Amino acid sequence: MPRAGLDPATVIEAGAALADEVGFEKLTMGLLAERLGVRTPSLYKHVDSIEALRRGITLQAMRDFRDAVARVAVGRAGPGAVRAFADAYRRWAVAHPGRYSSVVRAPDAGDEDEEHRRLSNEVMQIMYDVLAGFELRGTHAVDAARVLRSSLHGFATVEAAGGFGLPRDVDRSYRFLIDTIIAGLQNVPVDPAEDASSREFHPTSG
């Protein structure tokens, strides 16, 4: 039976849920129309194109991801902040694999989508805030953010794909990963050049 009362927000939310099932890149207007019980041309009354649908999903996913990791970081610092952030990151990425794949790419330098750039910067700023308790100097802050982000991304992506098959508890392996990252952050060598540059360096992206 055809669905009544569709609007752009409803279509985007349905598209996001479907992307989690089939993959963000495999999402099509035809598949979404079938899921919603309407003819494909009916969707174009609410979204202009597949590109517009994917943009809508990406922006909403970035807002949801930002809020999920920001909530747990409030009032925390140092190792506690990293553990809370990492757990929220993993939970959201594994629960929403299609949506998560849409938020990973950083905006291009010439990207004119200001909302995309703003949300990307907000997510990265949360990560820098989480790492602030380690008092990393200069561009070491970028190095640390990249290490943390890529480690969490790799683990969550493999887990979501069912890639951990050995008889070892996945949560224990995850704790080992986070403990190893924290130990590394607590022992970053002091570089006088990095320390001198820290006054001018203000990271806003990954």
**pLDDT tens figures, 48-84:** 999 999 999 999 999 999 999 999 988 888 999 999 9
The range of the structural domain enclosing residue 75 comes to 61-197
Cα separation values, 134 from 125, 149, 166, 191, 204, Å: 15, 16, 34, 15, 18
Residue 205 token pair: 């992206």
Q: Output the domain CATH number for residue 14.
A: 1.10.10.60
Domain assignment present for 203? no
Q: With a cut of 90, say whether residue 204 has pLDDT above it.
A: no
Domain assignment present for 14? yes
Domain assignment present for 155? yes
For residues 43 and 69, membership in a common domain is answered with no
Question: Domains in the chain: how many in total?
Answer: 2
- Predicted model pTM: 0.86
Query: Average pLDDT, stretch 166-181?
Result: 96
Q: What is the pLDDT of residue 92?
A: 97
Mean per-residue pLDDT of the chain: 88
